[in-house]
Amino acid sequence: MAQPTIILILILSFFIPSHTHLQPTDQSYISMLISNKGLDFIKDLLISKAVSSLAPLQLPKIEKNLKIPVVGNVHIVLSNITIYRVDVPSSYVKPGDTGVAIIASGTTCNLSMNWYYSYSTWLVPVKISDQGRALVQVEGMEVGLTSGLENREGTLKLSLMDCGCYVRDISIKLDGGASWLYQGMVDAFEDQIGSAVENAISNKLKEGISKLDSLLQSLPKEIVVDDIASLNVTFVNEPLLSNSSIGFEINGLFTTAKKVGFLNNYHKNLQTLVSCTGPSKMLGISLDEDVFNSLSASYFSGEYMQWIVDKIPDQSLLNTAGWRFIIPQLYKKYPNDDMDMNISLSSPPVIRISEHNIDGTVNANLIIDVLEAGQVIPVICISLVIRASGSVKISGNNLAGSVKLDDFTMSLKWSKIGSLRMYLIQPVVWTVIQTVFLPYANSHLGKGFPLPIIHGFTLQNAEITWSDSRIMVCSDVAFTESRNRLLFYSK
């Protein structure tokens, strides 16, 4: 059994952060930071998983011939050696430049086993044997591992760099047996039981890290939001490891099956790390405004932003009779005909985030159609610039929001019924925006889109702040076991 402290110092020596900062390379629009508190949470989760995978655990049997004073040569077999309980009273996690160290100290571990011995002497020419049970208590164990974390082609690669388990003390309690047996066992088997435990635990840790690694490898590179938009969650750049946190950057833009040019026009504002102020939270997620613009571009290119309005709260406005006094010439030309409105966006809505506001600007065309004898006759086209201000909230693991109208401007694009007095039309358009357009937008925004959170984790007590060009979500997380493999949330 090696000296625990020396080995731990060796492990930790990998982990003196030198704060060499990474050169910024690929563009990232969403970054995430796991704080000290978050790392502790994950560490506790991993340790509880490790503990439950370690108990019960069967160790290989141990056999030995011993020379015992007076008794003579004795053959002893320890079998069915089972670790049935592991306790980890204290542990900590420490990120370093190249990876993360997790140390569990003062770990105790209880084992049960069967013992058997046999011997014969020239005095008594028959074989003497006995057997029974024993309980073994392993104390003051130090268990540590360091794992490297790197970005390999857009996914995270976790690799075991070092791993050790060091037993300090063992006590053995025999159930029955001769009195000489106890001392003989302690002298002869202590080290072997100790290293059997050390090996078993080290192997389990290796296994655990490789499972965790394959889990990270299996994370998808995109989260499908619906049949139009997917969030690109490819990791870019190396994880940023500081002495108290780990940062990740992902591409973070929405893409659409249809390739469209304007999706690539984003300019990252030079800011990377998330800064969560206030009481410390486990996780911070920073989203650049271009994340939202890429979402809006995806929906725009998916021709999602065009719709026909044939029902409004004031249905009389969908008959030319309702417009008799507003546009007399319309009524004159098409008396008592039903109408609909064809609203289509002329460019993707633009979202700007400033310290005080989240603003959206929408350019739309409003075509008023008359429905006459089964025919759709477009009569007027009005172009609109709608300005709305938004608010965001967390709904489950989704970032959702809502908008309200700030103001709008309108101008006549074309008319088939001559010139119009726009100020008379304005209240009608206002009503359409308030009662049709905004509720429609809000019903979509209310669902929101999934944040890149690994399945099984849920955001808790999330707080949202925004600053120049980005939104920050600072949150604690909870974990619930699920039968499915851990994957990203998606709808």
Ligand X SMILES: *[C@@H]1O[C@H](CO)[C@@H](O)[C@H](O)[C@H]1NC(C)=O
The footprint of ligand X (CB under 6 A) covers 19, 26, 80, 82, 84-85, 110, 112, 114, 137, 154, 232, 234, 236, 243-244, 251, 255, 308, 342, 344, 365, 367, 376
How far out from the chain centre does Cα 140 lie? 35
Structure-token pair, residue 482? 């699920």
CA gyration radius, the chain: 35
Q: Which is nearer to ligand X, 254 or 466 (CB)?
A: 254
Q: Confirm if 353 and 289 have CB atoms less than 8 A apart.
A: yes
Question: Which run of H or E residues covers position 291?
Answer: helix 289-301
Q: Which is nearer to ligand X, 80 or 409 (CB)?
A: 80
Q: Which is nearer to ligand X, 36 or 426 (CB)?
A: 36
Closest separation in Å from C-beta 137 to ligand X: 4
Closest separation in Å from C-beta 373 to ligand X: 16
Q: Which is nearer to ligand X, 195 or 344 (CB)?
A: 344
Nearby residues of 16 by Cβ (< 8 Å), 6 or more positions away? 96, 97
Nearby residues of 131 by Cβ (< 8 Å), 6 or more positions away? 114, 115, 116, 117
Closest separation in Å from C-beta 380 to ligand X: 12
Structure-token pair, residue 419? 């010139």
Closest separation in Å from C-beta 54 to ligand X: 14
Closest separation in Å from C-beta 243 to ligand X: 4
SS3 at position 418: coil
Q: Confirm if 242 and 17 have CB atoms less than 8 A apart.
A: yes
Question: Which run of H or E residues covers position 231?
Answer: strand 229-232
Q: Which is nearer to ligand X, 28 or 105 (CB)?
A: 28
Closest separation in Å from C-beta 464 to ligand X: 25
Q: Which is nearer to ligand X, 194 or 390 (CB)?
A: 194
Closest separation in Å from C-beta 242 to ligand X: 7
Q: Which is nearer to ligand X, 26 or 130 (CB)?
A: 26
Closest separation in Å from C-beta 374 to ligand X: 14
3-state helix, strand, coil in the chain (%, to 5): 25, 45, 30
> In 10 A of CB 51, how many CB atoms?
16
Q: Which is nearer to ligand X, 379 or 459 (CB)?
A: 379
**Can you tell me the distance from the alpha carbon of 331 to that of 313, in angstroms, rounded to the nearest whole number?**
21
**Can you tell me the distance from the alpha carbon of 217 to that of 224, in angstroms, rounded to the nearest whole number?**
18
